[in-house]
Structure 1
Amino acid sequence: MSDTDQGQSFAIEADGDDESNGSTSLAALGRGAKAFFDWALVVVIALVVALGVRTFLFAHFVVEGSSMYSTLETGDRVFVNKVSYRLHEPNRGDVVVLHEIRGTTERDLIKRVIAVGGEEVEMRSCEVRIGGQLLIEPYLDPTVVTPGNCGGDFGPILVPAGTVFVMGDNRAGSQDSRTLGPVLIDDIVGRAFVVFWPRSNWQWL
């Protein structure tokens, strides 16, 4: 083979390397673009899921006012389970967020379920009774709820089916079922189950 042939052969091989390098670069670029779009898709799906979870499963609520003191204080942030009462009826003792009720000054309310449909509730000398039996309420602060500082006696009241009787833990400073009447279960946003902020007030409810 002549020197010229060798030079031509070398030139052809060099051209082949350029094409190979170009193909490799394009392939790498394609893989990078695919990885980017895959991650973008993951982020979009995560956002959609997060939005769906927040919209349909959970919500957060900022406490305003002192009606649930000292269990909850102004500025406390709680997570609310919005599906609990699609699966079962509210239970006595649950802390619930309610839609605005006519006659109150609050947009939303957060209260505690004291009695459920079919139960008879009354209060005498700051003691709540259900069907004549004393209701034990360990969540009450004895320095806040004291004899003569709990809003006065009431009842007995029969709670209709499909409703709950709610009260604030700060009995003397709460607008609740004592004046507004039992609340429709359909007006309950969900069950508040944890205080997540501020960290100093973190607690399960």
Structure 2
Amino acid sequence: MSLPVPDLALRAEDRAPSASLEASTPSRPAGKWPSRLRWTLGCLGLFVGTRFLLGSAYRVPSPSMVPTLAVGDLVFAESFTVGGPIPGVPWSRPRLRALRPADVVLFRVPYDVATIYIKRVVGLPGDTIGMRNGVLLRNGRRDPALSRDSLFVDRASDPADFVWHEPFRIATGADDSARAALPTARDWGPLVVPAAHVFVLGDNRGASRDSRHLGFIPDSLILSRAMVVYWRNGRPILHHPL
């Protein structure tokens, strides 16, 4: 009785496709970035692109903009048209829209650039800005779009906060000497806003630390323009305009 002979040719043929497939698989190109690095760079690009094209959220930390903005409000601020530095990277955006009176902006405090404030623009380059008995005057007139007179609560002022006013102040008449000698938070100026700067105030005029104390805000420190409140008191809202 003869024993069955293994079909060696068939087995060799069975192995051939595997060997052929292995031989045809291309090797990884030398120098190709690992997928993790590509993913990291993609996320970084998405983050920078979002900050560049859209803007960012900001939580209101103080009552200086009451009643427009309450403490804890979440505000969306657009940075695309405003221009200026891009947060987190050493680049800047071009300005596509000039700032206007009544714009609510986020900016870095001149003497403490790590701190960000949110205030309302009330004076542009070349404007004369002052306050008489709590009434804001822009170019000698009361502007209804900027007025928050009824919200003003008189509080004690530190004269040292107003020393910086003197080089920018212009004389206006007989009562000028008394006002220049002792300016207060509700009675100061008029001041001329220099080029490439703005003058900002909080809507809550009696409880805001703003350009009256900080000085003019350079354009280069303005980060974004507040557009809408989207979260208040623990629930979503849509509050616009500011």
Q: Give TM-score scaled by structure 1 length.
A: 0.69
How far 1:124 sits from its partner (Å)? 1.1
% identity of equivalent residues: 31
Tell me the distance in 1 between the aligned counterparts of 2:70 and 2:120.
Answer: 14
Tell me the distance in 2 between the aligned counterparts of 1:56 and 1:109.
Answer: 20
Change (3 A) 1:139 1:50: farther
How far 1:64 sits from its partner (Å)? 0.1
Write the mapping of 1:16-55 to structure 2, written as runs, cut at 5 A. Answer: 47=43, 50-55=46-51
Tell me the distance in 1 between the aligned counterparts of 2:131 and 2:144.
Answer: 12
Residue aligning to 1:157: 191
Residue aligning to 1:109: 117
How far 1:203 sits from its partner (Å)? 1.1
Residue aligning to 1:146: 150
Residue aligning to 1:124: 132
Amino acid at match of 1:181: G
Residue aligning to 2:239: 203
Query: Structure 2: where are the runs of 5+ without partners?
Result: 1-38, 84-93, 155-184
Amino acid at match of 2:201: M
Residue aligning to 2:60: 63
CA contact (8 A) 1:95 1:112 kept: yes
* Greater displacement, 147-156 / 160-169: 147-156
CA contact (8 A) 2:100 2:124 kept: yes
Amino acid at match of 2:63: S
Tell me the distance in 2 between the aligned counterparts of 1:202 and 1:147.
Answer: 24
Tell me the distance in 2 between the aligned counterparts of 1:95 and 1:160.
Answer: 20
CA contact (8 A) 2:135 2:186 kept: no
Q: Give TM-score scaled by structure 2 length.
A: 0.59
Tell me the distance in 1 between the aligned counterparts of 2:132 and 2:147.
Answer: 18
How far 1:93 sits from its partner (Å)? 0.5
How far 1:75 sits from its partner (Å)? 1.0
Residue aligning to 1:80: 77
> What is the aligned residue count?
186
Residue aligning to 1:173: 207
Change (3 A) 1:177 1:52: same
CA contact (8 A) 1:93 1:113 kept: yes
Change (3 A) 1:138 1:153: closer
Tell me the distance in 1 between the aligned counterparts of 2:70 and 2:145.
Answer: 18
Write the mapping of 1:177-196 to structure 2, written as runs, cut at 5 A. Answer: 177-196=211-230
Deviations 1:140-182 (A, max 9, x none): 4xxxx53762531111000001000000000000010111111
CA contact (8 A) 1:100 1:107 kept: yes
CA contact (8 A) 1:125 1:148 kept: no
Q: Give the secondary structure class of the aligned counterpart of 1:92.
A: coil
Deviations 1:41-91 (A, max 9, x none): xx9898556412333231111110111111111111111112324333211
RMSD of aligned Cα (Å): 3.8
